Every structure is written in C-alpha cells, then in structure tokens.
Amino acid sequence: MYCGICHTDLHHVRNDWGITMYPVVPGHEITGVITKVGSNVKNFKLGDRVGVGCLAASCLECEFCKSSQENYCDQIQLTYNGIFWDGSITYGGYSEMLVADHRYVVRIPETLPMDAAAPLLCAGITVFSPMKDNGLLKSPGKRIGIVGLGGLGHVAVKFGKAFGHHVTVISTSPSKEREARERLDADDFIVSTNSKQMQAGKRTLDLILDTVSANHSLGPILELLKVNGTLVAVGAPDRPFELPSFPLIFGKRTVKGSMTGGMRETQEMMDVCGKYNITCDIEVVEPHKINEALDRLARNDVRYRFVIDIAGNSSRI
Ligand code: NAP
Ligand code: ZN
C-alpha cells in the first residue's frame, strides 16, 4: 500500500556508495495488507496489517540471528539490492506487491495509519535501536542531540521527547527551527553553521545521534558532548567522516555506529509507537511523482518523509 522514500533509496538510485545493481527497485519502508500466506506460516493471516523494513533474509543460525539481532548477521540480505539465497536480486517496496519471509514481517498497531507508519520500518527503527542500546528508554532526563532534521532525525526527536529527555536539534537549516520547537516539541535548536551557538552548546549533551546523509566533520559535533559522551553515527555519507583526534581525546568521547534494528526490536518499536501514538510527518506522493520526490529529497526539501501511495488507497483507509 505504502512505501517511504528513505535517503538510502537516493544513495542507491545515484550509486553514491558504488554498490548499486541496476535495475534497482528501492524501498524498505513498506506497509500493506497480507493477500497470501505460505502453507507453513502460522503467525499471519489474510488481511493482517503488516510492515516490512530493510531485512529480507539472514542465516538464522549465528549468535546474532539467535538473539534477534538479525541486522548484524554477516549473511544478511537486504530488501532491495541484495542477492537472495536463490541468486536472484531483491527488489523493494516501490512495487505493487512484495513477497516476504514471515520472519521479517511485523504487525502495524491498529491505531497507526498505514501511510504515516511506513517510515517507521527504517527511519523509526534506525533511531529507536541506538536509543534503546544506550539506555534512553528507561532513564529519562538525559540531554540528547539529534544532528540532521530529516526523515530519521524527526522521528528521533519524537522518541526522545516520548522517553522524557531534553532534546536539542543540530541542523544546517535555520528555517526548521520553529516547527522543530513548536510541532516536534524540541527543547533546543542549534544551527551548526553558527559558531556562537555551537560554542554555547559545548559540553552540554550526553548522547548525539548523527543522521546526516552528506559528508561532514564530526569534530564540531563532538565538542557538544560532555566528557565521556557518545556519538552514534547512523547517517551514511559516501565518503569517510572527518574525525579529528582532539575532540575525541580531550573529552574521552566515543563514536560508534548502528545499523537499523533486529526483528524483535522492530516489533517493540512499532508497539511503542502505537502506545505513544508516534507516527511520521509525511507528504504522500503518487508513483508517477517518485523522481520529483527524489530530487526534492536531494535538495533537502521535505518535511519530513515522502511516502508513496502505491495502491492509490489513501482515501480508503
Ligand atoms: P534525510 O531525510 O535526507 O535527512 C538527512 C538530513 O541531513 C537533512 O534533513 C539535513 O538536515 C541534513 N543534511 C543534509 N545535507 C547536509 C549537509 N550537506 N551537511 C549537513 N547536514 C546535512 O535522510 P534520512 O532518510 O533521514 O537518512 C539520513 C542518512 O541515514 C542517509 O545517509 C541514509 O542512508 C542513512 N541511513 C542509515 C541507516 C542505518 O541503518 N544506519 C538507516 C537508514 C538511513 P538539516 O536540514 O537539519 O541540516
Ligand atoms: Zn532506510
């Protein structure tokens, strides 16, 4: 029914990472209703409201698969631009139907609309997972920073507020400040190109999530962390981060990464969204407008996620 347009789709369409196997059918923020089930599938039935994210397959035998961290299996196959067990290339959610292994399908809570829930399958879980991993679900009152107010960033702000934290947005777009504060309820907003604001923010944050899709230096951002603070990089620019040693050393700071999330955690994230009524701020586009939407995404002109109305169903849900 719906598929979000993640910046990863744009990276693939443009072959930013040099790994695209054309023709590519992107899309890993997929929601829909089940129309067929295999004979061995017991946990889903026709008509169920479900979602599929980034994972198509994993080995099911390694320590990561066994602990439902399938996202870290070294034989992981992704929903698109992956090579499936039978040698075929996987095609993603910019399509009218999708065949998925039931192990990589999650339920969408009844209270969430299918269109605004779609981006949770990648943007949502990608920011939820490091927040959980760094103890933010159960210990409110931390000061967290979200770098880049895009698809991932805006959901991160919503999670941060729902879990009781003080949330600072660090952005290159002064035009996003008002709605960040008013609509997303961010507590603070730093324009990263404003050296005064960056100076005033030094050593104020416990944890930073960097969601930026473009090449940039981590140095000035690291300065915003308290001593012993952690920066989790989830954005995936096509060139290495600039990582100067002084802000690392002088603040005993940590930089680490995080890759989407496991299946158990993805369902947990969905259920949390159902509980707190967290959905994405979306602009729905028809399939023939996909190229236009990708161009606008490249220009940072989206608030905050395009979602393709694959089946032309928006009025019927
Ligand atoms: P997005 O919606 O385009 O958001 C990225 C944000 O980065 C923009 O809104 C913008 O925020 C900021 N930005 C853009 N150009 C910039 C520049 N030149 N310098 C500094 N900031 C800039 O993208 P997204 O869908 O959230 O994805 C973000 C990144 O995460 C992509 O690289 C994507 O591939 C990656 N990703 C990783 C995972 C994972 O598992 N780790 C999962 C999904 C996506 P401001 O206007 O606020 O500056
Ligand atoms: Zn994605």
Q: How far is the CA of 214 from the centre of ligand 1 (A)?
A: 7
Q: Is 85 helix (H, G, I), strand (E, B) or coil?
A: coil
Q: What percent of the chain has pLDDT over 90?
A: 97
Determine the Cα–Cα distance for residues 186 and 193; give it in Å rounded to an integer. 19
- Please tell me the predicted confidence (pLDDT) of residue 312: 87
- Rounded to an integer, the average pLDDT of 100-116 is 97
Mutating to test ligand 1, I would choose from 55, 159, 167, 211 the residue with most ligand atoms within 8 A of its C-beta, which is 211
Which tokens is 78 given?
């992704």
Ligand 2 ion local residues (Cβ < 5 A): 6, 8, 122
CA–centroid distance, 44 to ligand 1, in Å, is 34
CA 248 to chain centre: 26
Residue 315 has pLDDT above 50, yes or no: no
**Average per-residue pLDDT for the chain:** 96
Q: Indicate the pLDDT class of residue 314, thresholds 50, 70 and 90.
A: low
Q: Which residues of 186-217 are buried (b: 16+ CB within 10 A; e: fewer)?
A: bbbbbbbeeeeebeebeebbbbbbbbbbeebe
Over residues 26-34, mean pLDDT: 97
What is the per-residue pLDDT for 30? Answer: 98
Radius of gyration, alpha carbons of the chain: 19
Q: Locate the ligand 1 atom nearest the alpha carbon of residue 305 and give its number.
A: 2
Mean pLDDT computed over 298-304: 96
CATH class as words, domain 2-122+261-309: alpha beta
In the three-class reduction of DSSP (H, G, I as helix; E, B as strand; rest coil), residue 95 is classed as coil
Looking at ligand 1, which atom is closest to the CA of residue 5?
A: 25
Residue 317 has pLDDT above 90, yes or no: no
Residues 203-239: tens digit of each pLDDT? 999 999 999 999 999 999 999 999 999 999 999 999 9
Q: Which residues make Cβ contacts (< 8 Å) with residue 98, sequence separation at least 6?
A: 30, 32, 52, 92
Query: How do residues 113-162 score in pLDDT, each as one tens digit?
Result: 999 999 999 999 999 999 999 999 999 999 999 999 999 999 999 999 99
**Is residue 316 scored above 60 in pLDDT?**
no
Q: Which CATH architecture has domain 124-257?
A: 3-Layer(aba) Sandwich (3.40)
> CB of 108 within 8 A of CB of 51?
yes
Domain ranges of the chain: 2-122+261-309, 124-257
In this structure, the residues whose C-beta lies within 6 A of any atom of ligand 1 are: 6-8, 11, 122-123, 126, 148-153, 171-173, 176, 211-214, 216, 234-236, 258-260, 297, 300
Contact 280, 114 (CB under 8 A): no
| E strands present in the chain | 2-5, 30-33, 49-52, 55-57, 77-78, 105-107, 143-147, 166-171, 188-191, 205-210, 225-233, 254-257, 282-285, 305-309
Question: In this model, does residue 38 exceed pLDDT 90?
Answer: yes
The sign of the dihedral angle between the CA atoms of 249, 261, 189, 170 is positive
